[in-house]
Structure 1
């Protein structure tokens, strides 16, 4: 797989950070307009910083995937240069075991957060309705809370790119194993990835490792200075 693209994921997660920042600003600006009941209706820590844990978990997952890409690149010379079936497949079996023990994508943290934010929005809306409160500052808080109903599912969907990448790595290794496990092999049917590596000593997984590693170092706080 060449060039895993994480731009959509970055945008989706950045929107969550921005929304949290906007809520923190709206809370400050509303000041005394927020009654005790209103403040109790909203888990402000989760509303403004709930993105931290889900993104941290995705970062760990992406770091694991970067490790897979790096490992795959490390094993390619053995597969290409070995003169026996066992020599070609030994490293691949090791790598397959690594793939199989690498945890898959989990979106539980996102889903729990979405449920919490939906509850906060509902409770806050109930208070505004029961008190016939139409203050613009408070309505802005409500609408920004309600944005999570779209933003969090969008982030979950965008995160599938990581899970899809893990799947594609497994599929590519399986295809290479079919070739490597033959008693004798020839250059005529060598998989494209191996052919490229044979002549360039590099592969798309070198680039993937860099992309994934760089992504894990994203400064998410930088998105707090934007508005949505």
Structure 2
């Protein structure tokens, strides 16, 4: 897959004033790396959203800043508005193309499990991403996990079972469960206890309140004398 291309412009205003200056069509961003200084940018919102949807946060992006040669980077962090969900800021990390990096890559579950389709089992996804190590040129937006191997209830797929794309190596432990199929357990609903035969709602209320129930009472000498009067 060819690299995603993004056009950016240098942003002079920073902080709250800078964010207020940008209209809804643009988002503020920053690009940084081990061999470059931080630079504040602004990027078209629609263009960035398309790039994020295609590349995720684990694919190489060519960031064009003005008339400069493209910077090889990844989308390292995305901040969103908690109410609208719109992107309000993005971080780009400039990469050294000759140096390996460790990065989390999303898992894409493909295929169909016979245990789910034919035996009514439930698919449990234990992981949604794994950590790998690779050169920037080998980065991928996602890694496929084929669940068609889940034939019987109780079957598992472990990280060691995943076929990694060329150039990628596991950082996540090989023995972690990625997905499994389990029997769907029926929820037991407790029936309310039946009322005692012949007992009215008024009788039941008296029982709950303590009225209508005989109680033993130890009489004092004063009580005895009152009874003689």
TM-score (norm 2): 0.18
Rg larger in structure: 2
Greater relative CO, 1 or 2 (CA 8 Å, sep 6+): 1
TM-score (norm 1): 0.18
